[in-house]
Amino acid sequence: MLKLSTISLGLGLALSTNPVLANNSEIDLLKRQLAELQKKLTQLEEKEQARAKQEELAKAEKAEAQDNTTTTVAAAEPKPSIKVGGAVRTNFSHTSYDDDNKNRGGDFDFDIFRLNFSGNVGGFGLNAEIRFFDYMTAVKYAYLDYDFAENWQAQVGMTKVPFGNSPYNSHNWFFNTTYYIGLEDDHDMGVVFKRKVADNWQLDLGFFKNDELGGVDGYVDDRSDRYSYDVVGFRKAGDGVYDDPTQPIGEYNTFVGRYAYHLEHSGGVTEIGLSGLAGGLHDGNDRAGDYHAWALHLNSNIGPWNLQLQHGEYNYDIDDVNRMAVGAYAFYDSIAAEATMSNVNLAYSMPVEFGPITDLQFYNDFGIIYDKSDNTEDTWMNVTGVSLAAGAFFTYVDLVHAKNQPFIGGSIAGDSDETERRFNINFGYYF
């Protein structure tokens, strides 16, 4: 578009040089026309400037919208997030089987310091726990999880073996007799596919390559430095109950399945389930045998009451062997190669307002292992107690009576007729 000054100059020159247009009336008419033309040109120029400004604003808004979209997409992607927690626990015990402890009126000891990690990294869940004792350090679990389909999750790493009542077949600090034969709160190296509760049923399917310390020839200094019980060898005639195993054995290629159905009723939910596992035993050179276990279990919540029932069998099948060596908590113990197990647990939960205490759970847990392949006396344990929750503090107060029970003056491969007693208080701060 021509500038107004250029047009005005051209018209002025035309008027001054053309004699035909020299009279005043015509000159006045041309001036008026020139003024009208200048007015229209000014309006056109203003519109042009307004249009250019609108284009600039539109470009700016488009750029800003693109920036906002990029920011929104970036914000929608989950950022890595890891939470760190843990606990510090101490323990008081007064026992019938340790004369020195009894003469001192009991002992107050450090129990554990532990760290827990949970969160997500790159769309995967991360879960881990490490425990520090006076006498050892042990990783309880460490695995990644991923929700690969609706209601289904995969867990890979050192993950929990899905077997029996969940999460525990007990309410007390000592667990139940099933823990000491490796069938409660056990963790091994493998993969688990978990179907979450939907349509009132759930399913866990697992494959475990070996135990958490790498199996029979894992690169560890001591195969008993672990949290959960596993078979680490077998016993021959003349071997002591607590001896280091002279015949090493390791679990490998274990398949596990757990099915549970949930019955909803007035007052709560009852879970009825079946668990089974089967795998091989390796001596470092060849397959030495097989092992399997099964259990029927019930976990019923009726108002404030919880009832747990479990019954099953286990069998370590190695030629001419009727006793196995197990390892955990930095020492070796023994169990019968084959036995039957039964459990009955009852608990009552009650909210309270007693100083800092907000919840109490009273319980009685009973377990027995019998029909043993080594023909030793039955193992049984009864724990009567109460747990107290007070903010970040949690305490177990347990009175234990047992026979041939680890940590209560005996062994599952023991052959004693004596019933032992232990009064125990475990006090913990959780963060």
Q: Within this chain, do residues 116 and 211 fall inside the same structural domain, yes or no? A: yes
The answer, yes or no, to whether residue 26 has pLDDT greater than 80, is no
Measured CA to CA, the distance from residue 271 to residue 200 in angstroms comes to 9
For residue 396, give the CATH number of its domain.
2.40.160.10
DSSP 8-state code for residue 49: H
pLDDT of residue 375: 96
Instruction: Give 263-315 pLDDT, tens digit per residue.
Output: 999 989 999 999 999 999 999 999 999 999 999 999 999 999 999 999 999 99
Q: What percent of the chain has pLDDT over 70?
A: 82
Task: Tell me how far apart the terminal alpha carbons of the chain are, to the nearest angstrom.
Answer: 76
pLDDT of residue 55: 65
Q: Within this chain, do residues 125 and 190 fall inside the same structural domain, yes or no? A: yes
Q: Within this chain, do residues 94 and 158 fall inside the same structural domain, yes or no? A: yes
Q: Within this chain, do residues 131 and 253 fall inside the same structural domain, yes or no? A: yes
Question: Whole domain around residue 410: which residue ranges?
Answer: 80-430
pLDDT of residue 399: 98
pLDDT of residue 59: 60
Measured CA to CA, the distance from residue 158 to residue 39 in angstroms comes to 85
The answer, yes or no, to whether residue 70 has pLDDT greater than 90, is no
Rounded to an integer, the average pLDDT of 109-130 is 96
Q: Within this chain, do residues 102 and 218 fall inside the same structural domain, yes or no? A: yes
Residue that terminates a domain, selected from 74, 107, 135: 74
Residue that terminates a domain, selected from 74, 96, 127: 74
pLDDT of residue 29: 66
Instruction: Give 226-263 pLDDT, tens digit per residue.
Output: 999 999 999 999 999 999 999 999 999 999 999 999 99
Rounded to an integer, the average pLDDT of 402-422 is 97
Rounded to an integer, the average pLDDT of 178-195 is 98
Instruction: Give 360-385 pLDDT, tens digit per residue.
Output: 999 999 999 999 999 999 999 999 99
Nearest CA among 366, 367, 376, 287 for reference residue 336: 376
Mean pLDDT of the chain: 90
Q: Within this chain, do residues 84 and 146 fall inside the same structural domain, yes or no? A: yes
pLDDT of residue 12: 46
Q: At what angle do helices 4-17 and 24-76 cross, to 10 degrees?
A: 170
Q: Within this chain, do residues 231 and 311 fall inside the same structural domain, yes or no? A: yes
- Structurally, the chain folds into a number of domains equal to 2
Measured CA to CA, the distance from residue 394 to residue 360 in angstroms comes to 10
Q: Within this chain, do residues 404 and 368 fall inside the same structural domain, yes or no? A: yes
DSSP 8-state code for residue 127: E
The answer, yes or no, to whether residue 91 has pLDDT greater than 90, is yes
Q: Within this chain, do residues 228 and 115 fall inside the same structural domain, yes or no? A: yes
Q: Which helix (H) or strand (E) holds 381?
A: strand 379-390
Q: Within this chain, do residues 64 and 92 fall inside the same structural domain, yes or no? A: no
Confidence of residue 21 (pLDDT cuts 50, 70, 90): very low
Q: Within this chain, do residues 387 and 373 fall inside the same structural domain, yes or no? A: yes
Query: Can you give the three-state secondary structure of 283-344, one letter per residue?
Result: CCCCEEEEEEEEEEEEEEEECCEEEEEEEEEEEEECCCCCEEEEEECCEEEEEECEEEEEEE
Residue that terminates a domain, selected from 33, 58, 74: 74
pLDDT of residue 75: 47
Q: Within this chain, do residues 126 and 257 fall inside the same structural domain, yes or no? A: yes
